[in-house]
Structure 1
């Protein structure tokens, strides 16, 4: 094997490795551009655009927040949700806040249990023993 064959081999290896790096760079650039497009589409969909008749001072986002909280409250329970400003709990009484948290947790648990009982009743499935006292069925013999 002559001495110049080694030079040809190394030149070919370097050229192929440079070609690989260039192709990898092109692929990464295309993925980066696609990611930028996805981020811009997502930000357009998630941005709070001011609704008609809303003040330009940013009241639209507050209206959207109140609407979302109102919809969530009507979906979970029939009681109206109390709207509060962000950061209201910082100055609240910890005992009252804890009691409110525990009550809300019990309410959410009861709503989930009622949905589970109704779903099982609709499907004709057996009720859980722990759900029998809440299902409204007579357990006396």
Structure 2
């Protein structure tokens, strides 16, 4: 075999390898773009227009909760009281969900859940 046939073989192998790499990169980029589009769609489904734009404040609408960092300058007794109230609300909400779930499934209720203990 003449020497130039080896050069031709290696050039063809390099071109094929380059083609496979380019096609693989195109495939991965397109797959990534589809994934990001699906993620955006699901994010909109989960959080529909919860961040409506308000032209008065120059951007996002104000949140319902306190401003970030406001607890740093708040009275510690007030923050403790708010935390305790929130904890009690969450506990009662869990209890209500548990009672409702057990009623739907026909399971016996706990006396503590019904407030009879």
Q: TM-score, normalised by structure 2?
A: 0.63
CA RMSD of aligned residues (A): 3.5
Q: In structure 2, how many angstroms separate the alpha carbons of the residues matched to 1:25 and 1:115?
A: 49
- Matched with 1:57 is 56
1:117–1:34 CA distance, 2 compared to 1 (3 A): closer
- Which structure 2 residue ranges, 5 or more long, are not aligned? none
**Structure having greater relative contact order (Cα 8 Å, sep ≥ 6):** 1
- Which structure 1 residue ranges, 5 or more long, are not aligned? 51-55, 67-82
Superposition pairs of residues 1-141 of structure 1, within 5 angstroms: 2-4=1-3, 5-31=5-31, 34=34, 48-50=52-54, 56-58=55-57, 61-62=61-62, 65-66=63-64, 84-127=66-109, 131-137=110-116
Q: In structure 2, how many angstroms separate the alpha carbons of the residues matched to 1:28 and 1:122?
A: 47
- Deviations, residues 7-29 of structure 1 (Å, cap 9, x unaligned): 23212211111111221333344
**What is the aligned length?**
110
- Deviations, residues 37-63 of structure 1 (Å, cap 9, x unaligned): 6688768x655234xxxxx3228713x
Q: In structure 2, how many angstroms separate the alpha carbons of the residues matched to 1:136 and 1:98?
A: 26
Q: Alpha-carbon deviation of 1:86?
A: 4.1
- Deviations, residues 54-104 of structure 1 (Å, cap 9, x unaligned): xx3228713xx34xxxxxxxxxxxxxxxx6444321211224312321331
Q: Alpha-carbon deviation of 1:120?
A: 0.9
